[in-house]
Structure formats: structure tokens, C-alpha cells
Structure 1
């Protein structure tokens, strides 16, 4: 396999919230979206971070093989599908090692009109075992206001994975007044009910732990003063979405 390099933001050797089991988590650089609640603004720019080649990263992962044998490796970000060649290269290596691979993605890079992207996506589907798909907001205009991008390609990606029969966990960040309204949650549930590959739905309550990063980077934090959702709001969202 040819040498392929990726831009890495950071590595986490003992992740427990990014897919099944204990996982080695690779946070990749680069993201086209600017979500108001993003807690990793330091991953936005793809030219930053540390450059690693696929074999080098694999050797680092294998140091923790005994710890992740019941879990695997998750690629997060940022938006990992901005680095498709690196994802595919890593997926092939992990497949050879019998290690489970998950990709945590917004789906924003999906483009059925881009033939090269679709060819690479087919390659990725052959080596990736699970997609963690973050659906931020079911309403197109509100999604654009929240992230700077519409959601048409994201919903199309969800449908594509369903047609391909690829296992998916759906993730929804719950932000009061922005993504927690009952009618929007019910619209999202209606969409999820059209999919045939959803193994799990996760509701992720909004938190402010990333706010300090904005201060250090000199970036205005758009949700300053926003509070975390209440226990009642979380319970309602989980009930509507059928989340665990």
C-alpha cells in the first residue's frame, strides 16, 4: 500500500464515547462547517496540525491493541471525510489487522455529482464498519444558520448509507432554543424512521467546555450565555428520537 499522509489534530488512546467499546480516537484537521456550538474550533483549518503517514499512525494504534480489542478506532475531527485518501488508507490497514473502524462525520462532504468523491466513498464503505452521523438540525434554514451550510447533502448521505445497508449511529447535539424544539425533534424522528440502518440514536447535551478555546484563538463564541439543556429537555428529546 502506498504511503499516504494525513493531518492530525490529536490522538486519544482510551475513548469511551465515540462508538462501541474502548476506542483509539483520531481527531483529523479540517472542517468546512462553523457550527455555533463546535467544541473543537482548533480543528477547522486543514493545513494545521501534525502530519503523519498511515503506517506511522497504525504503529501508534497497535501499541494499544489489547485495550481496544473489544472496541476499535474512530476517526473524528473536524470533518474526517475531508481527508478521504487518508481514511481509506487507514481503513485498509485496520481491516488487515482485524480492527473495527468507525468514522464520526457530519456528512457535509457528500456529493453525488462528484464522481471521484463517490468512487472514494465506495472504497471507504468497504473498509469502514460504522458511521457516526451527526444530524444537527432537520430544518434547512436553521441548519444553515447554525453551521453555515444547508443540510440537503447530509440527509442525502444518510439515505445513501441506508440504501447501502451500512450501520449508522445517529448523533444529535441538544441545544436549548436551537435544536431542542419539539416540532423539530419530531421531524427528525420522522426522517430517521425512513432509514433502515440506524443501530442507535444518541442525544448529546450541549456543554460549554469548548468556550475557553475560542478565547485563546480570539474567535467570538456565538452561544455565549447559553445554558445546558435541563434533565426534562434531555428526557423529552430521547423519548421522541428513540435514543438510549
Structure 2
């Protein structure tokens, strides 16, 4: 993983696109969409997930993060174009849906690149989607090739406990992606004592079953690497006593999700 010095990408008033507020940029992403990718991490997130390992991305607003322009991000990509030929650009967070104009402009410009169309991927929880104004996201979703959608928990009460937010907007976003037919990979962090039961995973499968555009499922085992960052930031870590997830159980739980999907689709 290689990070970019963001000062070199800072936007200015001369940009013909909306500027973004960026936390960091990774030049060799291998787990954020197909191939090797340039990954742009947006600043700002309204959720407060108990197991978030990047709490420094939470703060939003004009003073948070670093301004970055579409032009300079694309220049960075094109400077290593051969390296990314099997990949593309992923925008993650924080929560990228907080900046739909910027992400939409970046994705549109990526598709229109004079050097060849660039594959675009959105990594999101969907929490900032506004179902009352879906047109705000037209440009973004119209130029989005793939969505990595993080579903935190199938139970509404536990979802709020884990994230501090209702799941309503997330589910509305999933419905919107299905309506548009945008390919989606569901991501689910498996946390001991919270999301690691067969019953919870079967409920998750039933929850996502109506979305016929789901093309993949990633069960991500919870790890404790973020604890050090909380200590460095002087922040309490809510899951301090929770051990890392046993990776050997992941196949079983993945099958439980798929079983729930199949049962829901068959009407069982």
C-alpha cells in the first residue's frame, strides 16, 4: 500500500469540476474492486461504527480533509496507466456519498478519459443516500461500474447500536442500485458476538435477496489493527474486549448468507 502526498493534488478555483475533500489516496489498492486500483478515500462520515478502523475520516465540513481536484487525481492515475490496466479507480471513505457532485464528476471524467475508459467503483455504506432526492446521485451512479455495499447488520436495532444510525437509507440505496441494475458486491464485517451467528447471516441473506443485481459477497473477518489508532488519537475503543474473528468460520457463515438468499427467493 502506497500513500500519496495530498498537497500535490490540491485543487484550486481553476478546476472545471467540483473539488473533493480527501482523507488520503492509495496507489496500489488490491482489495477495493477488480485488479490493481487507485483508491481515493473521501473525508467525512455520518456513521460511528464500533469497529471502524479509520475514525480520523469521520469529521466533515470545509475544514476537514484536503481539497483535491478531479484533474489532478486523473493525472495521478494516468501517470501509472499501464500499472492499472486491469483495475481502475475506487472512491471509498469515510463516506463518498456525502460528496456526490465530486464523485460524479470524477467517475464521469474517468469514463471519458482520452487515454481510454477507466473502470469506476464506489465503496460505500449507502448511509448518505437521500431517497427523497435520488436525482442528486444521477451523475455518480450513471458513471459507476461497480458498487461495494457495506451492510452492517440485518437487525435494525443492532444496526443502530453498532453504527449510531438507522439502516433505512442504506436499504433505500440498495433498492436504488437494484432499480438501476448496477452490479453490487455485498460486504459484511463478521464481528464476534455481533454478526457471527448463523441466524444473523441467514437474515442478512434474506435482506439482500430482492436485489437481483448482487454479483458477489465478501465476508470480512473483524480484526483489531485499528485499536492502536484509537489509542494514538486518545479515543475510547468500544470493542476493546472483542477478539479478532476466527477466519476458519467464514466459509460456514458465507454459506448461511447464501442459504438465506436462496430461501427468500424460493419463497421458503
**Segments ≥4 residues shifted beyond 6 Å:** none
2 CA distance for matches of 1:120 and 1:59? 26
Q: Deviations over 1:161-186 (max 9, x none)?
A: 11211110100000011111221111
For the structure 1 residues 23 and 242, does the alpha-carbon distance in structure 2 shift closer, same or farther, using more than 3 Å as the test?
Answer: farther
Could you tell me how far 1:80 is from its partner in structure 2? 0.6
1:240 paired to 2:256: yes
Query: When the two structures are superposed, what TM-score results if normalisation uses the length of structure 1?
Result: 0.94
1:156 paired to 2:172: yes
1:5 paired to 2:19: yes
1:101 match? 120
Q: Per the alignment, in what secondary structure is the counterpart of residue 171 of structure 1?
A: strand
- Counterparts in 2 of 1:75-224, with a 5 A limit? 75-97=91-113, 98-113=117-132, 115=133, 118-224=134-240
Q: Per the alignment, in what secondary structure is the counterpart of residue 203 of structure 1?
A: strand
Q: Deviations over 1:142-197 (max 9, x none)?
A: 00000000111111211111121111010000001111122111111112221110
What is the root-mean-square deviation in Å for CA atoms of aligned residues?
Answer: 1.4
- Counterparts in 2 of 1:9-20, with a 5 A limit? 9-20=23-34
Segments of structure 2 that go 5 or more residues without pairing to the other structure are 1-14, 260-268
Could you tell me how far 1:221 is from its partner in structure 2? 0.4
Segments of structure 1 that go 5 or more residues without pairing to the other structure are none
Q: Per the alignment, in what secondary structure is the counterpart of residue 35 of structure 1?
A: coil
Query: When the two structures are superposed, what TM-score results if normalisation uses the length of structure 2?
Result: 0.86
Q: Is the 8 A contact 1:13 1:64 kept in 2?
A: no
1:225 paired to 2:241: yes
Q: Deviations over 1:51-101 (max 9, x none)?
A: 111112211121121111111110001001111111011011101120000
2 CA distance for matches of 1:177 and 1:78? 25
Q: Per the alignment, in what secondary structure is the counterpart of residue 216 of structure 1?
A: helix
2 CA distance for matches of 1:121 and 1:15? 25
Question: Aligned pair count?
Answer: 240
Q: Is the 8 A contact 1:16 1:23 kept in 2?
A: yes
Could you tell me how far 1:210 is from its partner in structure 2? 1.2
Could you tell me how far 1:231 is from its partner in structure 2? 3.4
2:266 match? none
